[in-house]
Amino acid sequence: MAALEYTSLIGKARILHRWFPEEIPALLETMDGMLTAIQQEVPQRLKGWEFTIRNDALQEALLKEAQQVIREHGAAMYRNDKLFAEQLFTGLKRVYTGYCLITYAPTRKLHNRKFALAVELLFGI
């Protein structure tokens, strides 16, 4: 096994999945719920702006891609660490996945403190 600092993001995601497979369903459900909330919030946030230079199309495409992956492969990702890591920790989806881990892990401190510590250890969050 390579030293942690030389382990790829995909490798770290696979480790997290192997250590805490029981956390994956709740994490994916949370990610899907956060996607829905973000998608509903964006139009409200942009309503009052007079001048907007943002890459909303890129953000929307990223969110749709992440949502499609979660909905299409969600149940399979519960059991398959490779699928979980390769689908959510590659390309731009890894930005959204990282955001979700940052948000989700602290909520697990009381229920499963070791999961929160593992996220912090593996991803430096």
Torsion, Cα 108 2 69 95, to 10 degrees, reads 70
All structural domains of the chain with their residue ranges? 7-123
Measured CA to CA, the distance from residue 66 to residue 64 in angstroms comes to 5
Tokens of 25: 């369903």
Return the closest-CA partner of residue 89 out of 120, 40, 113, 123.
123
For residue range 39-96, list pLDDT tens digits in order.
777 656 555 545 444 566 677 777 888 889 999 998 999 999 999 999 999 988 888 8
